[in-house]
Amino acid sequence: MERISNRLLNWASLLEDKTRDQAVTTSRMPFIHPHLALMPDAHLGLGATVGSVIPTLGAVMPAAVGVDIGCGMIAVRTQFTREDVAGVAAPLSALREAIERAIPLSAGGRNNRVVATAQPRVDELTRMADDIGLDPADHVKDWQRQLGSLGSGNHFIEVSLDETDTVWLFLHSGSRGVGNRIAGHHIKVAQALMEKWWIDLPDRDLAYLVEGTPEFDAYIADLRWAQHFALLNREEMMDRVVRQTEEYFGRAVVERERINCHHNFTERERHFGKEVWVSRKGAISAREGQLGLIPGSMGTASYVVAGRGNPLALHSSPHGAGRQFSRSAARKAFTIDQLREAMTGIEFRDTDAFLDEIPQAYKPIDQVMADAADLVDVRHTLRQIVNVKGN
């Protein structure tokens, strides 16, 4: 751990100067308490650094939570093994294609209708929205059909084997278009208030809402709804992945374990003697013994972890590998042949649409995990055998 200042602690051994400068700027906001914690996967973000844990007194910065509210991971440990995989006559491409048919992929992806498994979840979200006076249709007209869809970018669905050759199902997604629109709305509200109050910010995306105001209360209510949408979205998709896995193996999945965690969210917590709002932007909660998920990049390992409850890190840990190349830079720097080489032995959709997701565009996950040694303990190491992504 590096103490950059009294208000900024850093766990990233690989840290670009621009990322460091951005984190320093955020840490100087007057309501930070006691300090900002920069995670090993930190990289440049909108306003605040992705891979940062931001505790605030009496205020929240919507852009510091992130625009994909509630984004996170879910994983299921099954009873199947490598031997079971080898015993199936159909190739793994059949399982990949079945998953791709069951779950809408890519930006803007939607279900044709609200299916039976999704309906109770849609009903739950509708009741929750009614209770807080939110109409999600004001942000996305057909938000119900987004439930159970993956998205694009670094979102993924994977079938993996752990160190004992046990099959895990693993996916990464968030609150989709409706969460993004809700975040964007409240970021604009905060920015307008800064202009109204003549508050000069070092970065307009550090605009904040003050606790006790109607704008703050509305954001927290909408935020919690979007976080719950993201959690249920992952549950719905995982249920579909389980069903396709059952069809592939010809027998029911026995869920030995299911873990679902956010990495773009805000919670009320107590740290260093005060109640604060902890915004984890690209970080997971890692209280002592708390289970979490840290995915690597496409083609590399992912990890099931248990938190160590590190107080200086505000009971947090990294959420993944963290980008080293922007998407446009990655497309210029790498080739489809390099992507194919990185994905050797993994069933995936062979297309240059995923070139910006090549593992070399990210920090080495092994280094990230080494930097996180005092934040989490590794319970399982997962290696992909099937990868599903949206364009």
Single out the catalytic residue among 139, 262, 263, 319: 319
**H or E segment at 98?**
helix 92-102
**H or E segment at 132?**
helix 119-132
| 3-state DSSP assignment of residue 299 | coil
Distance CA 112, CA 122 (A): 15
For residue 34, cis peptide bond before it (omega within 30 degrees of 0): yes
Indicate the pairing of strand 8-10 with strand 36-43.
parallel
* Sheet-wide strand order for 166-173: 257-262, 72-81, 166-173, 156-161, 376-389, 302-307, 291-294
319 a catalytic residue? yes
Please check whether residue 29 is in contact with residue 5, taking contact to mean a CB–CB distance below 8 angstroms. Answer: no
- Residues near 274 by Cβ (< 8 Å), separated by ≥ 6? 33, 57
- Residues near 188 by Cβ (< 8 Å), separated by ≥ 6? none
210 beta partners: 59
Helix, strand, coil percentages (3-state) for the chain, rounded to 5, are 35, 25, 35
b/e burial code for range 333-352 (CB count within 10 A of at least 16 → b):
ebeeeebeebbeebbbbeee
The residues that are catalytic are 319
